[in-house]
């Protein structure tokens, strides 16, 4: 074997190991980073959607809510905590 063919053989082996490293390490890391960014953006959009101001509509004031089934329930009994 000549020196030139040994150099090509060495470069071929080096290329194989670099390709293996890229496939086993770099690509999974890139996929994971992309997935985490998507999930973060999805959570941020969901958070912004839930914290958006509600549209004004017909609603009763806080103190005047009544349950129509209260007449059927009976009297309220206040239980005390037993220790």
**Which two tokens mark 72?**
């059927």
Residue predicted with more confidence, 67 or 49: 49
Does a structural domain hold residue 62? no
Taking 3-state DSSP, the helix, strand and coil percentages for the chain, each rounded to the nearest 5, stand at 65, 0, 35
Structure tokens at 7: 């150099």
pLDDT at 64: 54
Give the residue, 68 or 29, on which the prediction is more confident.
29
pLDDT band at residue 53 under the 50/70/90 scheme: low
In the block, which residue shows the tokens 């994971």? Answer: 32
Q: Is 39 part of a structural domain of the chain?
A: yes
7 in a structural domain:
no
Domain extent at residue 41: 25-49
pLDDT at 51: 81
Number of domains in the chain: 1
Query: What's the burial of 75, exposed, middle or buried (CB within 10 Å: 0-12/13-18/19+)?
Result: exposed
Kindly state whether residue 8 falls inside one of the protein's structural domains. Answer: no
Give domain status of residue 35, yes or no.
yes
Number of Cβ atoms within 10 Å of the Cβ of 30: 11
Does some domain include residue 66? no
């Amino acid at each position: 074997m000549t020196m030139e063919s040994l150099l090509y053989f060495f470069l071929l082996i080096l290329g194989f190991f670099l390709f293996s490293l890229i496939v086993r390490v770099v690509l999974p890391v890139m996929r994971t980073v992309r997935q985490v960014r998507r999930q973060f953006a999805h959570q941020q959009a969901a958070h912004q959607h839930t914290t958006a101001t509600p549209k004004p509509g017909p609603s009763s004031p806080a103190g005047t809510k009544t349950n129509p089934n209260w007449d059927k329930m009976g009297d309220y009994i206040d239980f005390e905590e037993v220790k």
